Amino acid sequence: MASDTDAPRSESATANGDAAAAESPKRKVALITGITGQDGSYLTEFLLDKGYDVHGLIRRSSNFNTQRINHIYVDPHNAGKARMRLHYADLTDASSLRRWLDDLLPDEVYNLAAQSHVAVSFEIPDYTADVVATGSLRLLESLRSHISATGRTHVKYYQAGSSEMFGSTPPPQSETTPFHPRSPYAASKCAAHWYTVNYREAYGIYACNGILFNHESPRRGENFVTRKITRAVGRIKVGLQSKLFLGNLQASRDWGFAGDYVEAMWMMLQQEKPDDYVVATEESHTVEEFLEVAFGYVGLKWKEHVVIDKRYFRPAEVDNLKGDSSKARKVLGWKPKVGFEKLVKMMVDEDVELAKREKVLVDAGYMDAQQQP
Ligand code: NDP
Ligand code: GDR
């Protein structure tokens, strides 16, 4: 689909609202920021399955950034078949956010966009705050003025909150646990959390914070530790790599599967009243335990490949996250389907297959062994 990204998207963007409404007046309409990310792709699949029309806001990039959703993209020129549409916007551009709310008239707005890398947020703190904190405020304020101008009080808002907000507060962490953020990213997510609570209390907007613990998948960005490990496992297994450079192996995380977690986002918006929910597996494992399972699964020993590089240590670390998601389980009826070992093996299986395909290209001289797609 990449080749026709430009014209059809911008053309469809203006024509879409009317066309979609005329074709299927009863469909619910969702608007997703961050649709090109890991969670955006799973949430889009989930909502399309539920019969929604899905609109995603994507930012302009010099390269195509839609790899995770290419498989569900249908050219909008196929009248009636394209139920996911993409539009250019940016969380740093308030006017674009308000315009798309007015044009698309969504029933549910999922704010998933973020500079989501914790370590990178120490390198670009100002930008991180602009997107993660002020970007969420821009979207909430756009939504408030949209509702005020149109009377569409039924519109619901989901804010992608994070377990990073708990930071150094010891586990188990629940909705009542105090926040103690340890990075510019986490502090910005705390601001976004409280903006969301404030817009709910001040203006009566149906707005929910999902406080999601780490969730991973084969679509996880390659510089998050889980995917960095499983990518390396695949490449080491087929002989394209030998060393893996990592930082702190003792950090503990409550890792779940992204496909399970997007369902919880949707469930939050189906309740009578808006509220905030922790979403977690309630199990925690160290990075070292992740290495054991991932390398062991394909018969490798991680100690023969992993090298500690201080570059990957953070100025302030979050040592131990383990969620208490009893509220989500009781009120929403949500529970995770994929456990830790199954998740690690799913990611390794996919990355071994990916590495095999890379090997074919390397052997044929189409790709350098150091190069990764
Ligand atoms: P990703 O990093 O995979 O995706 C982030 C998305 O945000 C991408 O679509 C990205 O676009 C988009 N984006 C970044 N900057 C901007 C901007 N200025 N304007 C518009 N869009 C922008 O994150 P995940 O899918 O993993 O996470 C989704 C959300 O949930 C994020 O807010 C994250 O902070 C939060 N979260 C994630 C958790 C996890 O474990 N995955 C846990 C808790 C919270 P592009 O593709 O162009 O880069
Ligand atoms: P996290 O995820 O910071 O929890 O944020 P990440 O995978 O980046 O780090 C998890 C832990 O692994 C340690 N670590 C390394 N991390 C990375 N990225 N690279 C390494 O080489 C490495 N070596 C060790 C880290 O120090 C850390 O302790 C993720 C993001 O998705 C956020 O957006 C989200 O809000 C939180 O999860 C919940």
Radius of gyration, alpha carbons of the chain: 21
Whether 183 is catalytic is no
Instruction: Tell me if 87 sits within 8 A of 56, measured CB to CB.
Output: yes
Distance of alpha carbon 267 from alpha carbon 191, whole angstroms = 23
Q: Which of 157, 185, 199, 277 is catalytic?
A: 185
What is the atom index within ligand 2 of the atom nearest the CA of 249? 24
Residue of 214, 279, 286 with the most ligand 2 atoms within 8 Å of its CB, for mutation:
214
Place 82 in a pLDDT band, splitting at 50, 70 and 90.
confident
Arithmetic mean of pLDDT, 286-308 = 98
Q: Pick from 118, 339, 359, 351: which is nearest to 244 by CA?
A: 351
CA distances for 91 relative to 98, 106, 139, 152, 187, angstroms: 11, 17, 7, 22, 17
Q: Is the pLDDT of residue 210 over 90?
A: yes
* 212 has a pLDDT exceeding 70: yes
* 213 CA closest ligand 1 atom index: 42
The predicted-structure confidence for 23-53, as pLDDT tens digits, reads as follows: 546 899 999 999 999 999 999 999 999 999 9
pLDDT of residue 25: 62
Report pLDDT for 125.
Answer: 98
Mean pLDDT on 49-77: 95
The Cα-based distances of 218 to 110, 112, 228, 230 in angstroms read: 22, 18, 11, 9
Structure tokens given for 103 = 């044009």
In what helix (H) or strand (E) does residue 326 lie, and over which residues does it extend? helix 326-327
pLDDT band at 369 (very low <50, low <70, confident <90, very high): confident
Query: Could you tell me the pLDDT band of residue 209, with boundaries at 50, 70 and 90?
Result: very high
- Mutate which of 31, 100, 116 for ligand 1? The one with the most ligand atoms within 8 Å of its CB, which is 116
Catalogue the E-assigned strands of 16-113: 29-33, 53-58, 84-88, 108-111
| Model pLDDT, residue 13 | 36
Of 9-13, 61-65, 293-297, least confident by mean pLDDT is 9-13
Q: List residues bridging with 161 in a β-sheet.
A: 211
- Complex prediction ipTM: 0.99
Q: Taking residues 174-183, what's their average pLDDT?
A: 98
List, in sequence order, every residue forming a beta bridge with 320; answer none if it has no partner. 252
Structure tokens at 89: 């916007």
Top mean pLDDT of 8-22, 66-80, 237-251, 358-372 is at: 237-251
Judge whether 291 and 306 are in contact, CB under 8 Å. yes
- Whether ligand 2 lies within 6 angstroms of the CB of 252 is answered as no
pLDDT category of residue 78 using cuts at 50, 70 and 90: confident
Lowest-confidence segment of 11-15, 137-141, 356-360 by average pLDDT: 11-15
- The answer to whether 291 and 302 have CB atoms below 8 angstroms apart is yes
Residue 148 has a pLDDT of: 98
Return the pLDDT at 4.
34
> What is the length of the chain?
373
Euclidean distance between CA atoms 164 and 187, whole angstroms: 9
The region of weakest confidence among 54-58, 257-261, 365-369 is: 365-369
What whole-number percentage of the chain has pLDDT above 90? 88
CA distance readout (Å), 126 to 117, 167, 188, 231: 14, 20, 10, 30
- Report residue 341 as tokens: 């070992």
* Residue at token pair 């189409």: 366
For residue 337, CA distances in Å to 161, 226, 280, 358 come to 21, 19, 11, 31
Closest ligand by atom to 67 CA: 1
Which ligand 2 atom is nearest residue 163's CA?
38
Rounded mean pLDDT, 1-30: 48
Query: With contact defined as beta carbons under 8 Å apart, do 208 and 273 qualify?
Result: no
Instruction: In whole angstroms, give the CA distance from residue 196 to residue 253.
Output: 25
Nearest CA to ligand 2 atom 37: 214
